[in-house]
Amino acid sequence: MNYLQAIIIAIVEGLTEYLPVSSTAHMIFTSSFYGIQDDDFTKLFQVAIQFGAILAVVALYWRKFFDFRKFSFYIKLACAVIPALGLGLLLDDYIDAILGKPIPIACMLIVGGIVLLFIDEYFKNPTITSEEEITIKKAVTIGFWQCLAMMPGTSRSAASIIGGMQQKLNRETAAEFSFFLAVPTMLAVTVYSVFVKTYHTTGLKGYELLFERPENLKLFLVGNLIAFVVAILAIKFFIGVIKKYGFKPWGYYRIVAGIILLIYFNYN
């Protein structure tokens, strides 16, 4: 991986992490286009730069994250993240196997896009308009919905937002809770990928890959910085779009992108 590839992948991550379009799918397709997807450092990089996107949410909603008087907020996030942590550990090897196959991921983009075309009509009459109204039971239910995103191409953001709307959250509240839930979820995934996981090709841990050559750590830092800045812009843009247009634009985007990628990978 060179600096240009790292910058482009980081921009893709920042743009797509909080949109219901699957950041993992977009990064995999980008790295596949460059022919570097099978490299262990690339796989680590695609996960580790999510840390920058995590910090974007904390920066935008810092009053929420550092209001220690509302302890229930932290309890809800802790309970909601448990399903993904448990299933993630069990399915890690299976997920790795799927990550190398762009065709199923493109298909999931299309399927998810079709779903997004109809969720605004299906989940009508929301009754919850703020995070404070979300119960622990509802938070855990949203956490289980988030587990659908373990299939690359589904989108963690889309799964948790749909879960929130199914639990009677309005669109904006569902999107914001999805952002909040991303922080402990992706932090756990990043820590696991850097400090615990052993990568199959090299047999190295994530932190060993970071220090395998001097450029790797620099690429990691640059990638996180770019993902942080771009994610801030993307979050603000996304909230504005769903307030005005709902989820149909993202549904159409996913379907078109999925079809284009299916054609590309079938003929390359």
Q: Which residues contact 138 (CB under 8 A, 6 or more apart)?
A: 128, 167, 169
> Which is more confident, 103 or 257?
257
* Residue 67, φ and ψ in degrees, nearest 5: -95, 85
Task: Report pLDDT for 161.
Answer: 92
Query: What is the overall mean pLDDT for the chain?
Result: 89
Look at residue 93 and tell me whether its pLDDT is greater than 70: no
Does the pLDDT value for residue 88 go beyond 80? no
198 SS3 class:
strand
Pick the residue with more confidence: 57 or 152?
A: 57
| Of 74 and 153, more confident | 74
pLDDT, position 240: 83
Better pLDDT: 223 or 189: 223
pLDDT score for 12: 95
For the residues 109-125, what does the mean pLDDT come to? Answer: 90
Confidence of residue 230 (pLDDT cuts 50, 70, 90): very high
Cα 126 to Cα 66, 121, 129, 173, 204, distances in angstroms: 28, 11, 8, 10, 48
Report the range out of 88-92, 145-149, 252-256 with the highest average pLDDT. 252-256
CA–CA separation, 141 and 47 (whole Å)? 25
